[in-house]
Amino acid sequence: MMNKEIVLITGASSGIGKATALLLLQKGYIVYATAPELFGMTDLQEKGAKIMQLDITNSENCKRIVDYIYKESKSIDILVNNAGYGLYGAIEDVSIEDARQQFEVHLFGLIQLTQMVLPKMRDNRKGRIINISSILGRMTLPMGGWYHASKYALEGISDCLRQEVKPFGIKVILINPGAIESEWANLALSKANENSKNTAYSNMTNQLTHLISKSIKIQGKASKVAQKVWKACQSPKPKIRYVVPAHAKLLCIFQKLVSENSFNYFKEKLIMLVTSENKKKYPSL
């Protein structure tokens, strides 16, 4: 039997959001796919999604979308908070204005939208909030301080929200992707170059470039993350978090097994190894 639950997905114009929308449509969900611009979602509309323009940092926009869905479909059973981007660059170099915007998207805008759907979920005594975080919300690398901080904040508030809404039958689930095929890496790298390429942190910017070039070789498919989101949507007892793909799981397991100092040493050596390999190929670096 086809599932007719109502799903609202943010950041659905590409990557994980689009893959999730496509899979949930295939599984029979009624999908409201949103993004700041509509042009990246016309293919979703052709597949049956209801596409809508949504800037999650705009409270009036959020309220208008939520009210419209309630008027048309009477309910939002599942909210997939996926909208996001990577603000990279040395912490010293990134402007506080840009840093605040990273938090507006990953935390305040996300929670603002969540607050708007929770009252009806509580009335219905059911609902699922699925927050797309990152393994970089559980471990850090240089040059991504503001991105990491926003995802760490999302992890903390999700864990707290889960406890608060459990008595009302609402489940809060975290998805922690590792390196996934999308435009995310290129955008993050362009931000790093914009902020720190010509500063005291230029060498670290080069290291980040090499690290990302290596990570491309192990990137997982966005469809793999979508499968975990679907599992979180339909499982009677979903996990608190789903880590995907395999390399992300291995990193998280390794982090748990060793001391913080040992894990930090491992990361430093990994970055040095990648950089030294690239210097052999490109001596001018």
Q: What is the pLDDT of residues 216-226, one digit of tens each?
A: 667 889 999 99
Whether the CA torsion 27, 29, 32, 36 is positive or negative: it is: negative
Q: Which CATH code fits 6-206+217-246?
A: 3.40.50.720
pLDDT digits (tens, 9 = 90+) for 235-278: 999 999 999 988 888 878 878 888 888 878 777 776 676 566 44
Distances (CA, A) of 190 to 164, 186, 187: 39, 6, 5
Amino acid at 176: N
- pLDDT at 247 (0 to 100): 82
The pTM score is 0.91
Active site residues: 13, 133, 147, 151
* Domain ranges for the chain: 6-206+217-246
DSSP letter string, 233-245: HH-SS--SEEEES
